Amino acid sequence: MKSTILNHWKSLSFILFISLLGMACKDESKFEISGKFTNAQPKTKVYLFGVDKNSETPVDSTVLSDKGEFRFTRSTPDVDFFRVKIDNSEYMLIAKNGDKIQLSADLADPTMVYQISGAEEADKLEELNKNKNRYTAKIAAIQAQFEQTVASQPHNREAIVNQMRPALIKENEDLVDYILKFAMDNTSSLAGFYAINSLNPGDYEQELIAYADKIKSKFNNNAAVTEFLVRMTKLKAVQVGQIAPDFTMNSIDGKPVKLSDFRGKYMLLDFWASWCQPCRMENPNVVKAYQQFKDKNFTIVGVSLDKDPAAWKQAVVADGLNWTQLSELKDFDSPTVRLYQIDAIPSSFLLDPSGKIVAKNLRADQLVEFLSKTLR
């Protein structure tokens, strides 16, 4: 009996030794991405790109085997984003040294759905993709149903839109809610960072800033995260409740004008351009507000993103923009446009007499409603 127990412990010790040996031999200086594509042509070239901020850098390439298989082995200074590309398909991955990631996909699938596993970040990204695909499939089904119904009843298009819009809005809202929750639940994972950056910054500024505060001491060596944190710090400076950053800019007649010169009045700081069709469509609403409140301690300062001074001046006259007009004539490269974190126009900031931002992006009748309640 004693001998049997001893032999049993010897067997367990041997198994444990082999397991530890395998762990000790794992190469932590590199990561591996291997995978298999179905509906792929053998010998097709596969590329691996590193993703740095908004650009991609070629890292490696290989060709598919006769079975549609491939493998990359590389090293990275820290956990980072990578993209696998083949033909017109591409697949986002997150990897760090020591990971062994498996990727599989059907190249005939136009939605580019893919499966990944084999590492903690890969599992998180797989979870995100799986749930996002579930929501987008529902949204696509509603859109397909809408198109089919309209095709059979074209005369009822408006009624069909009104009937189906609530379901579409709900699915979109559910998708956004899921993305925000996933990001906040995974602040130690780059998958969370990837998730929240799929949202439109203009629509979710507060959520993005809150997320940035959660990750500001993490991913210190990741260029994309660092750039994001810098951008969120700047965005925080132009939120409601903050004093609008001061600047000096030339007016339409070439004279320098300082923003703080308008202190003492409510002021709409309006970013627009002559080439921006939504801006031109919104201009009549801005003119309406100006005419109604210009004698009630309210004014407007327009900042044009035009590059062509003639086009800018022509649009000012054509649209009747009879208030102070400024421009650096540098499009989105304008230092002031970057200072205010403008990534789409029209964009506007309503300032109170102290220069504090009290509202942003009031459209159509919203501006008139706000001023009607405020300027009595």
pLDDT one digit per residue (tens) for the chain, 376 residues:
544 444 544 454 544 444 444 444 556 899 999 999 999 999 999 999 998 767 789 999 999 999 999 999 999 999 999 999 999 999 999 999 999 999 999 999 988 999 999 999 999 999 999 999 999 999 999 999 999 999 999 999 999 999 999 999 999 999 999 999 999 999 999 999 999 999 988 789 999 999 999 999 899 888 899 999 999 999 999 999 999 999 999 999 999 999 999 999 999 999 999 999 999 999 999 999 999 999 999 999 999 999 999 999 999 999 999 999 999 999 999 999 999 999 899 999 999 999 999 999 998 889 999 999 998 7
Residue 55's pLDDT is 79
Residue 11's pLDDT is 52
Residue 52's pLDDT is 78
Residue 26's pLDDT is 57
Could you give phi then psi for residue 250, rounded to 5 degrees?
-75, 140
Residue 17's pLDDT is 46
256 by DSSP, 3-state: which? strand
Number of other residues whose CB lies within 10 A of the CB of residue 48: 20
Residue 53's pLDDT is 67
Is the CB of residue 57 less than 8 Å from the CB of residue 49?
yes
Residue 5's pLDDT is 44
Which residues are CB-neighbours of 94 under 8 A, at least 6 positions away? 79, 80, 81, 82, 121, 122, 124, 125, 189, 190, 191, 194
66 by DSSP, 3-state: which? coil
**Alpha-carbon gap, residue 132 to 77, rounded angstroms:** 29
Residue 186's pLDDT is 97
Is the CB of residue 32 less than 8 Å from the CB of residue 65?
no
121 by DSSP, 3-state: which? helix
**Alpha-carbon gap, residue 313 to 222, rounded angstroms:** 44
User: DSSP for 4-45?
Assistant: HHHHHHHHHHHHHHHHHHHHHTS-TT-EEEEEEEES--TT-E
Encoding tokens for residue 1?
Answer: 């009996």
Which residues are CB-neighbours of 66 under 8 A, at least 6 positions away? 42
**Alpha-carbon gap, residue 196 to 183, rounded angstroms:** 6
**Alpha-carbon gap, residue 369 to 350, rounded angstroms:** 13
Residue 9's pLDDT is 40
Of the candidates 346, 310, 335, 324, the one whose C-alpha atom is nearest the C-alpha of residue 251 is 324
